[in-house]
Amino acid sequence: MGGFAVCRVVAAAALALPLLGAPSTTAHAEAGRQPASALPSAAADTAATASLTLTSVSPTILGPTDQLVVSGTLHNEGSTALDRPTVRVVLGPADTPMDRAGVQAWATQTGAALGTEVARVRLKTAVAPGDTQPFQVKVKGLAAKGSATYGALPLSVEGAGAVVRTFAGYQRIKQYQPMALAWAVPLTLDPDPNLFGAAGQARETAWANALGAGSRVSRVLAATRDAAVTWAVDPTLTPSLLKDADTDATGGQEQSLRRATQDQIESMAAQHGPWVLPDTDADLAAVAASAQGEGLMQSLVARAAPVAEALGGRADIAWPAGGAYTAAGESGLRRIFRVPALAAQVTAASALDNGLGGTTPGAAQRSQGGLALLTYDDSLSRLLARTTSPAEAVLSAQQFLAESVSLLNELPGTAGRSVLVAAPRSFNPDPAAAKAFFATAAAIPWLATTTTDAELAQARRAAPSPAAPVTRTQPEASPVHPPVLTSARLLALEDTLRTVEGVAEIRDDGDRFARTWTRAAEQLASTRWRDAPTAWQTLDGRVAKAADETTSAVKVAAGNINFLADSGRLQITVTNSLEVPVENVKLTVEAANPRLRIDSPPSILHIGAKSRATVSLRVTALAAGLVPLRTTLTTPDGTVVGQGANVQVRVTPTGDWIYWGLGGLAGVILLLGIWRSVRRRPRGTAEPTPAVPERTV
């Protein structure tokens, strides 16, 4: 543990390191010693405010002749100097329970410990307010103080009123069957809606935050680079291995970052035997529990297969969020995993009961339905996750050691046992601290490093118990955020995808539009949004807006038309207010009642940017009256786009009677004209004026 950076614990603060389980090694205090609480201490040790930091506890496992070296720093947070304060190491009482619950209790307790002081050191100088002084305490003969031939001892490091609870591992004789230890770590994106959708500075910045130097993904890659860890990769991180990825809609910085991340994953894939998650890290748990969205999930699962082939990994492992297992959920996952077929599910040990009287289920399990279950240990996995800063990494590693021996002691003589440690999707390690954590685990003699492939092979051979696995009603796993994808949202998401794809068919920039916004819509199926439901709503709104901008921009102009004929043509106007042309827009016009018959087939339109098109329809009038027209704009695949309009036609058909009527009217007008001319003629005998002859032009 000497490689760990600073681990800072403030006096009187709770060391909240949650763990669960039930190991069983007991440590004894040194006989004849006074309890630590009875030992005198300098006034400054209790009156001043200080914090203790552990930088290392070494060696990882004490042999019979080894001395333990506890190194750290003491920081004066008070306003008065600490006059050469004393730092001491106290061994916990002999009756301290060291099963998994006991380890948890010791790690979370605060205040000076009852027990036996086994070593102390007094700092050489005073510690002024705000100053920090290093310390190193050496403890001799500690391995001999354990009652068992191997195990972990509870320790309390105390000084100037500050207390840090930790553990020390020891082994005098090997009297156990080692357990195999495998690791799995997700490589997934953060829930940032700006990562997808329209190109621009916001998107560039989001990708820089997601993949750039110091990003969470870069920290995970750096922390696990040299460890025997299986990566679980979201294909979104390997865009060139995906068909129709939206990289052509991105800026140069984004492309560079995504390419560099993919190159890292590809270059190290062989040593990490990756699992390729369904595309977008789709929320399998949400869909397996619902009858909706299976078609979408099947397509996202299928896309992982070629990525896995390119990386030399596998795409048939399901890792639903939360780690729960149910028989119904297994059936749902099998329906989703058609190609490739489902090989195994990752689940939490706390969700299963292996029928062994309360002992922790091992990593390799098998369901009654015959599905291999890769079962991770909840508590050990949480300790790996607590390497987010040096302040927690040392304590997490020492607690990992203590818990692992407690797990071993549930069945110490049983060969073939294994344990899987799986980081959460939000894993955000300090790379140096996490590397030291892995190094500590590798140095524990009762843990033998293995691979997840070996665990899978063992799980396939396991014989399921008739009574197991059984889902617990209240799993002990860490609380998991509920899925954002409800049944209603899954239905809406499938509709949104169809709309986006349909809208793309009529846009002049359709290929680019489809890649950009289909990809953004597909990302809404991701598990990552469980931690950020508001961000999901933001991206969902942007996708809907992109589709709506096209549908609202292409529309039929409203109007009233008087049609005075038995047959003829009507004109309908369609406008496009987009900045890009649209094409292959099908206009269908239907009369709302039988007074008017539409004789023209649907029209296929091409409308320029910010332009309009006029459609001429052949129609036949069958009866007089008002006829509303139903207008529909659709894409070639039938997706409704655009907006219809209220077009009203007042139909007045003519027929043969109109000609007789017009002839009669003309005759009447002629007679009236003659009559009026006769009345105005004078009664004399004047000579008539000669007529002007007609000219034919």
- Structural domain tally of the chain? 4
Tell me if 663 is assigned to some domain. no
User: Where is average pLDDT lowest: 3-12, 121-130, 260-269, 337-346?
Assistant: 3-12
CA distance 177 to 445: 10
Lowest-pLDDT range, 83-92, 615-624, 682-691? 682-691
The pLDDT of 397-411, averaged and rounded, is 97
Average pLDDT over residues 184-212: 96
pLDDT of residue 351: 86
Claim to verify: residue 450 and residue 327 sit in the same structural domain:
yes
CA 256 to chain centre: 23
Low-confidence winner among 407-416, 478-487, 541-550, 596-605 (lowest mean pLDDT): 478-487
pLDDT of residue 246: 67
- Structure confidence at residue 689 (pLDDT): 45
Q: DSSP of 188-252, one letter per residue?
A: -----GGGSSS-SHHHHHHHHHHHSTT-HHHHHHHHHTTS-EEEEE-GGG-GGGSTT-GGGGS-H
For the chain, percent of residues with pLDDT exceeding 70: 83
Sign, Cα dihedral of 666, 671, 675, 681: positive
Structure confidence at residue 242 as a pLDDT band (50, 70, 90)? confident
pLDDT at 693 over 50: no
pLDDT band at 464 (very low <50, low <70, confident <90, very high): confident
**Confidence band for 14, pLDDT divided at 50, 70 and 90:** very low
Give dist(CA 486, CA 473) in Å, integer: 21
Q: 317: domain range?
A: 180-188+203-244+258-461
CATH classification of the domain holding 646:
2.60.40.10
Does 226 reside within a domain?
Answer: yes
- Position 5 scores a pLDDT of 41
Inform me whether the pLDDT recorded for 440 exceeds 60: yes
> In a 10 Å sphere around its CB, with 0-12 CB exposed, 13-18 middle and 19+ buried, how is residue 11 labelled?
buried
Residue 350 and residue 362 share a domain: yes
Q: Give tens-digit pLDDT for 245-289.
A: 666 556 689 999 999 999 999 999 999 999 999 999 999 999 887
User: How many residues can be counted in the chain?
Assistant: 697
Residues 309 and 426 both lie in one domain: yes
Residue 384 covered by a domain: yes
Provide the pLDDT for residue 519: 95
Q: Mean pLDDT throughout 434-452?
A: 97
pLDDT digits (tens, 9 = 90+) for 81-128: 999 999 999 999 999 999 999 999 999 998 999 999 999 999 999 999
632-677 pLDDT, tens per residue?
Answer: 999 888 888 876 778 899 999 876 455 455 556 666 677 777 767 7
**DSSP H helical segments within 645-695, as ranges?**
657-680
| Across 14-36, average pLDDT | 33
Residue 492 shares a structural domain with residue 348: no
Give residue 356's pLDDT band: very low, low, confident or very high (50, 70, 90).
low
Is residue 688 situated within a structural domain? no
Q: Domain for residue 579, yes or no?
A: yes
- By percentage, how much of the chain surpasses pLDDT 90? 72
Q: What is the pLDDT of residue 249?
A: 53
In sequence order, what are the residues at sequence separation of 6 or more whose Cβ sits closer than 8 angstroms to the Cβ of residue 592? Answer: 627, 628, 629, 630
Same domain, 521 and 574: no
Domain boundary among 510, 532, 552: 552
Q: Which two tokens stand for residue 353?
A: 């009961």
List CB contacts of 153: < 8 A, sequence separation 6 or more: 27, 91, 92, 142, 145, 146, 167, 168, 169, 170
> Bigger pLDDT: 296 or 12?
296
Strand partners, 631: 589
Q: In what side-by-side order are the strands of the sheet with 596-598?
A: 554-556, 567-576, 611-621, 596-598
Residue 421 lies in a domain: yes
Measure the CA–CA gap between 293 and 275, rounded to whole angstroms.
23
150 and 34 housed in the same domain: yes
For the segment 594-613, the average pLDDT, to the nearest whole number, is: 94
Please report the DSSP string for 162-197 in residue order.
EEEEEEEEEESS--SPPEEEEEEEEE-----GGGSS
How confident is the model over 469-480, as a mean pLDDT? 47
Do 537 and 578 lie in one domain? The reply is no
> Where does the pLDDT of residue 544 fall: very low under 50, low under 70, confident under 90, or very high at 90 and above?
very high
Domain end: 500, 519, 552, which one? 552
Task: Provide the CATH number for the domain around residue 328.
Answer: 3.20.110.10
Give yes or no: residues 167 and 29 share one domain. yes
The better pLDDT of the pair 465, 531 is held by: 531
Higher pLDDT among residues 512 and 18, named by residue: 512
Which of 74, 89, 103 lies closest to 156, judged by CA? 89
Q: Do 646 and 602 share a structural domain?
A: yes
Q: Looking at the domain assignment, is residue 139 inside a domain?
A: yes
User: Is the pTM higher than 0.85?
Assistant: no
Query: What's the pLDDT at 46?
Result: 45
Residues 571 and 544 in one domain: no
**442 pLDDT higher than 60:** yes
Q: What DSSP designation does 630 have?
A: E
Residue 655: the pLDDT is 60
- Count Cα neighbours of 33 within 13 Å in the Cβ-side half-sphere: 20
- Is there a single domain that holds both residue 542 and residue 577? no
Confidence of residue 21 (pLDDT cuts 50, 70, 90): very low
Min mean pLDDT across 152-161, 277-286, 563-572 is at 563-572
Residue 171 has pLDDT above 60, yes or no: yes
Residues 409 and 521 in one domain: no
User: Does residue 672 lie in a domain region?
Assistant: no
Q: What is the pLDDT of residue 10?
A: 40
Q: Which residues contact 454 (CB under 8 A, 6 or more apart)?
A: 180, 182
State the average pLDDT for the chain: 86
Exposed/middle/buried for 580, CB within 10 Å: 0-12, 13-18, 19+? middle
pLDDT at 550: 87
